Amino acid sequence: MRFLPLTDDDRAEMLEVIGAPTIEALFADVPQDLLLKQPIEGLPLHVSEMAVERQLKALAANNMVAGDVPFFLGCGAYRHHIPATVDHIIQRGEFLTSYTPYQPEIAQGTLQALFEFQTQVAAMFGCEVANASMYDGSTACWEAIGMARRITRKKKAILSAGLHPHYVSVCTTMAKFTGDTLETALPTLDPEAPAKELARLVAAVDGETSCVVVQTPSILGHIGDWSALAEACHAKGALLIVVVTEPVSLGAIKSPGEMGADIVVGEGQSIGVGLNFGGPYVGLFATREKYVRQMPGRLCGETTDADGKRGFVLTLSTREQHIRREKATSNICTNAGLCALAFTVHMSLLGEAGLRKLALLNHAKAVAAADRLVEIDGVELVTPSFFNEFTLRLPREARPVVRAMAEKGVLGGVSLGRLYPGIEALANGLVLAVTETTTSEDVEALASALEDALA
């Protein structure tokens, strides 16, 4: 009971002040036949900190740790080196144990960091404004579609074949309930796919379309120029939404804003936030200034205090649930504050120069790895241009190959069979991510495990 400071003497004194005979008496409004008199059966009782650590370490030991083996997984979550400074800062109690900054006079630390976060995200995405974060990339993607619906008053969204299938799945779930129509497509293992996809999307936009959603780099790793699509969208009164699941790429490739995107959303996990088995992550959300009042999520803005000093506050909250209730732009309340802080600390360490170096290092290592792997008999590269993630076509089904490599202690990418089960045409696809953490020994280990598994 080390987290409970009251002593029995305290409890007795307090009951006296309250005028209640026992603590039980304070639960008088609970139906007495349902009030539990004993600890719930079948659950263990309290234990020491040492015992907790022992139990949970045993479970942790039952996982293969990415950093312990040659590791090549991506597809929406990337393993990058996080400087020790990042974790030190986010563990400061003043950040870790503070609440949403509703009392700005004593929350300027959180607020200023959020303002810096918004500025960094907007700059990276090439947009005018960004919000103070969303839950993750997938939910941010759905919120963007909802925002496009509110702006255009149309309900048809066209989703690119290159969009992460989990993101498509989230949107499909939500659209069932909101009545939006989603047009989706599956990716193909065709090196010409990006050009064909661009042509398909340009042709598909019509007067009923609220938005087109593309991802760059795509789920297979393709990078493409969406400028022509932006023009096609705008000609029909639709919005272009660009999804970025690997923000490190923005240190090397043209920003979605430069390509004409109206809303850019992303998964910020790559910067400052570890893999964490899928969460918590941090959703990024940016758009044009003219759409800011239709934006979901919290926003931090600059103002002055009674002495004229610059300060920051949460602003435009008349969009939000705690003010607007059923008329809110979204029901979102919590965001991903501490992950946004981690992103901001990592980004201030990197700066523009560091981000560019990091991105080019990722790209160069990925190019070297791809060149090495296509030397293996029967293995083909299906993504002629890519950033730090590319797709190979194997001469056989990739999913068992990934399992066989894992048994040998190599985490050799994500099979498209895992992401698109039952789709024959994709079964031989293997998506590999290479980052600054990947060594040439890792690549050799992968090549040899892959050769063994294919033999």
Partner 1 sequence: MTINPSGWRPEQGVANDTGRAPTFTGNRALMLEEPLIFEIGSTTTTGVDFGEAPSGANRLGGLDRTAPIGCYGLSEPETVRHFTRLSRQNYAIDLGLFPLGSCTMKHNPRINEKIARLPGFADVHPLQPQETVQGAYAVIQNLAVWLIKLTGMYGVAMSPKAGAHGELCGLLAIRAALEARGDVRQVVLVPESAHGTNPATAAFCGYAVETIPATGEGRVDFEALKARLRPDVAAVMITNPNTCGLFERDLKAISDAVHAVGAYVYCDGANFNAIVGKVRPGDLGIDAMHINLHKTFSTPHGGGGPGAGPVVLSEALAPFGPLPFVGLHADGRYELVEEETAGEDHPHAFGRMAAFHGQMGMFTRALSYILSHGADGLARVAEDAVLNANYVLRSLEGVLEAPFAASGPCMHEALFTDNGLGGGITTLDIAKGLIDEGYHPMTVYFPLVVHGAMLIEPTETESKASLDQFIGALKAVAERAQAGDQSLKAAPIYAPRRRLDETAAARKPVLSWKDLPEAAE
What are the residues whose beta carbons fall under 8 Å from the beta carbon of 369, sequence distance 6 or more? 432, 434, 438, 443, 446
Count the residues of the shown chain that bind partner 1, applying the rule CB under 8 A. Answer: 214
Among 186, 192, 196, 280, binds partner 1 (CB under 8 A): 280
**How far apart, in whole angstroms, are the C-alpha atoms of residue 213 and residue 308?**
43
**How far apart, in whole angstroms, are the C-alpha atoms of residue 164 and residue 170?**
10
Q: Pick the stretch among 184-192, 199-207, 233-241, 402-410 that binds partner 1 (CB under 8 A).
A: 402-410
Decide if residue 62 touches partner 1 (CB under 8 A): yes
Among 190, 192, 208, 352, binds partner 1 (CB under 8 A): 352
Comparing CB distances to partner 1, the nearer of 237 and 349 is: 349
Contact 314, 111 (CB under 8 A): yes
Decide if residue 308 touches partner 1 (CB under 8 A): yes
Decide if residue 333 touches partner 1 (CB under 8 A): yes
Report residue 287 as tokens: 């758009």
Give the per-residue contact string, 418-437, with partner 1 (x = CB under 8 A; - = no).
Answer: xx-xx-------------x-
Question: According to CB under 8 A, which residues from 213 to 252 bind partner 1?
Answer: 223-225, 250-252
In whole angstroms, how close is the CB of 57 to partner 1 at the nearest point? Answer: 6
**How far apart, in whole angstroms, are the C-alpha atoms of residue 71 and residue 412?**
6
DSSP three-state, residue 166: helix
Comparing CB distances to partner 1, the nearer of 351 and 378 is: 351
**How far apart, in whole angstroms, are the C-alpha atoms of residue 147 and residue 453?**
46
Comparing CB distances to partner 1, the nearer of 186 and 206 is: 186
Give buried/exposed letters for 229-263 (b at 16+ CB in 10 A, else e): bbebbeeebbbbbbbbbbbbbbbbbebbbebbbbb
Comparing CB distances to partner 1, the nearer of 31 and 207 is: 31
Any idea what DSSP says for residue 39? Answer: P
In whole angstroms, how close is the CB of 78 to partner 1 at the nearest point? Answer: 9
In whole angstroms, how close is the CB of 182 to partner 1 at the nearest point? Answer: 12
Question: According to CB under 8 A, which residues from 119 to 148 bind partner 1?
Answer: 119-120, 122-124, 128-130, 132-133, 135-139
Among 148, 248, 284, 313, binds partner 1 (CB under 8 A): 313
Comparing CB distances to partner 1, the nearer of 236 and 420 is: 420
Comparing CB distances to partner 1, the nearer of 206 and 302 is: 302
| Long-range CB contact pairs, 112-115, < 8 A, 24+ | 112/312, 113/340, 113/341, 113/344, 114/298, 114/300, 114/312, 114/337, 114/340, 115/300, 115/301, 115/302, 115/312
Q: How many beta carbons lie within 10 A of that of residue 33, not counting itself?
A: 5
- With 0-12 / 13-18 / 19 or more C-beta atoms within 10 angstroms meaning exposed / middle / buried, residue 273 is buried
Among 290, 318, 395, 396, binds partner 1 (CB under 8 A): 318
Q: Pick the stretch among 181-189, 205-213, 231-239, 298-306 that binds partner 1 (CB under 8 A).
A: 298-306
What are the residues whose beta carbons fall under 8 Å from the beta carbon of 357, sequence distance 6 or more? 251
In whole angstroms, how close is the CB of 137 to partner 1 at the nearest point? Answer: 7
Closest CA to 219 of 13, 15, 444, 423: 423
Among 147, 151, 161, 336, binds partner 1 (CB under 8 A): 336
Any idea what DSSP says for residue 134? Answer: B
Decide if residue 278 touches partner 1 (CB under 8 A): yes
Among 298, 343, 379, 398, binds partner 1 (CB under 8 A): 298
Decide if residue 153 touches partner 1 (CB under 8 A): no
Task: Specify the residue for token string 């007795």.
Answer: 12
Give the DSSP H or E segment for 230: helix 227-235
Q: Pick the stretch among 147-155, 185-193, 197-205, 336-344 that binds partner 1 (CB under 8 A).
A: 336-344
Q: Pick the stretch among 200-208, 232-240, 366-374, 447-455 that binds partner 1 (CB under 8 A).
A: 366-374
Question: According to CB under 8 A, which residues from 14 to 53 bind partner 1?
Answer: 14-15, 17-20, 23, 25-31, 34-36, 39-40, 42-47, 49, 51-53
Decide if residue 375 touches partner 1 (CB under 8 A): no
Question: According to CB under 8 A, which residues from 68 to 107 bind partner 1?
Answer: 68, 71, 73, 75-77, 79, 83, 85, 87-101, 103-107
Among 210, 215, 270, 335, binds partner 1 (CB under 8 A): 335
Give buried/exposed letters for 54-82 (b at 16+ CB in 10 A, else e): eeeeeeeeeeeebeebbbbbbbbbbbbeb
In whole angstroms, how close is the CB of 288 to partner 1 at the nearest point? Answer: 12
Decide if residue 63 touches partner 1 (CB under 8 A): yes
Phi/psi at 34 (nearest 5 deg)?
A: -100, -10
